[in-house]
């Protein structure tokens, strides 16, 4: 059978060429060592992600740390009141009332003293 110049005949090889396997030279590694390297890699990756998250949340971290410190400091008082039979919500309210009263009392003691010292400093500073 002759092919005409207008026929579109595709010539396929009878058999595909054999592919030679590609061998990647790797160093033999102990599975425990490989696991340790993977743990170190993932640990460093997690550390980098944590640093980026902390950087992005830097504006909120002060309030978060302050809230955690307050919760940590008032927990023993709340636990003591609850063990005495006071409901937990009421114990929390009482602790906060005591803290606010203590801060207000401290302010009432310090503010007049600071005002008096600033007045004295203003009269003595020009001389």
Q: Tell whether 92 is covered by a domain.
A: yes
> Is 102 within 8 Å of 77 (Cβ atoms)?
no
Which SS3 state, helix, strand or coil, does residue 126 take? coil
- Determine the Cα–Cα distance for residues 84 and 81; give it in Å rounded to an integer: 5
Q: What percent of the chain has pLDDT over 70?
A: 83
Q: What is the pLDDT of residue 7?
A: 58
pTM, to two decimals: 0.49
Alpha-carbon distance of 26 to 38, in angstroms, equals: 16
Number of domains in the chain: 1
pLDDT of residue 6: 61
101 lies in some domain? yes
What integer pLDDT is reported at residue 8 of this predicted model?
65
Instruction: Examine residue 46 and state whether it is found in any structural domain, yes or no.
Output: yes
Mean pLDDT of 59-74: 91
The answer to whether residue 1 scores a pLDDT higher than 90 is no
What is the extent of the structural domain holding 51?
A: 31-122
Q: pLDDT, tens digit, for every residue of 2-57? A: 555 565 666 665 666 777 777 666 667 788 888 999 999 999 999 999 999 999 98
The alpha-helical segments, DSSP class H, found in the chain are: 31-56, 58-83, 88-124
Report the alpha-carbon distance of residue 68 to residue 77 in Å, rounded.
15
Q: What is the reported pLDDT for 14?
A: 64
What tokens does 33 get? 């060592």
- pLDDT value for 92: 94
Stronger pLDDT, 119 or 4, i.e. the higher one: 119
Count of beta carbons in the 10 Å neighbourhood of residue 15: 6
Query: pLDDT category, 101, cuts 50, 70, 90?
Result: very high
């Amino acid at each position: 059978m002759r092919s005409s110049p207008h026929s579109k005949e595709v010539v396929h090889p009878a058999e595909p060429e054999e592919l030679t396997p590609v061998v990647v030279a790797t160093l033999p590694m102990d599975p425990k060592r490989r696991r340790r390297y993977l743990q170190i890699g993932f640990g460093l990756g997690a550390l980098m992600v944590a640093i980026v998250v902390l950087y992005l949340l830097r504006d909120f971290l002060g309030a978060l740390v302050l809230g955690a410190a307050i919760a940590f400091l008032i927990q023993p008082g709340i636990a003591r009141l609850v063990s005495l039979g006071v409901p937990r919500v009421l114990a929390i309210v009482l602790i906060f009332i005591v803290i606010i009263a203590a801060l207000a009392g401290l302010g009432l003691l310090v503010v007049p003293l600071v005002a008096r010292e600033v007045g004295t400093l203003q009269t003595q500073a020009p001389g």
